[in-house]
Structure 1
Amino acid sequence: MKIKLLYGLLVFFATTAMVFAQDEKTLMQKNRELKIYGVTDNFLIGNINPADLQTVQDANKTQEGSYVIISQIGNLNSSNVNVSSSNTELSIIQNGSNNVVDIDKSANQIKETIIQSGNDNYIKDSALYSNQNISQQFSQYGDNLSLYNYGSNSISDTMTIIQSGNQKSIIIINK
């Protein structure tokens, strides 16, 4: 419990410092850009509120039960998404430069949220031919972070990974 509290405080102070490091004009411009995607005024870059993310998801549903949202703010961000399911709810938010998301998944249902805040971050998420209902969240806060997630099983189908710092890698192989 103490570790979770300390980790929560660490993430809070790290993201708060990033928000206050922005000049007012730049922050206002970024908030204006986010309004295009249906996000409320109190959604700040680097301090992503789950309630605001839900607002984005609710506002952008293109079909009943299925949607893919990609929000990119910065330079040279890319998302390669190849998913196959009967119900897909996928949200990708990239804030920074040179961030890459590469998803290749096939499952009964896919509910996934990916957040990248920083520069030169990479996420590879691959789970082919899974009969699981996958509900995952991956977050990266920092620079030069890498996350590789291969496969799916009953342990990983509701996985949440929060990666922060600089120049770190996580490799997950599910069998």
Structure 2
Amino acid sequence: MTQKGSPHRPLQALATTALVLVLKASVAAPAEALPRTVILLRHGDKVAAGDGNYNLSVDGFLRSITLARLIPACFGPPTQIRTFFLNPESSKNARSYQSAVPLGVATGVNISIAQSSRDNSFLDGQEILSQPTYEGGTVVLFWEHRRMPELARGLGWASMKPIGATEFGQIFVLR
């Protein structure tokens, strides 16, 4: 399988080169109802910026399919899947939700959209650490790159560097 406008890459090569794993252990948390593992990801690759298209690119979609196999194989099935804000009228930020769909389908876990994350991703992180719903589970978060450091701070990780506009392959695992 090849993609129009991209170098000819087999799907398997794309799957093996699209991911970088970054581990952060023993995150200090401000609450008691802690998830066992939080997996934080940026949404998948996008189509050309500035054209009003908020959908995943082919590479982004293929990455999301790969993640739907990789995450359960490496960390077990998630108990919660949550995504960054999605504007229901314009579809702005649809990529976070679209990136989560293959994992939700593969595992049977419903996807929740953090509608308040646009205004305060820090509080979303705090909520995940304090709500009994998340306790002891594996939470997978698909987020918008500019808000990931804010979300990470809410999860107790103060040192996350900003994510670049073209960085799509990192997986952050907080235990």
Q: Does TM-score exceed 0.5, indicating one fold?
A: no
Higher relative contact order (CA 8 A, sep 6+): 2
Q: TM-score, normalised by structure 2?
A: 0.29
Higher strand share: 1
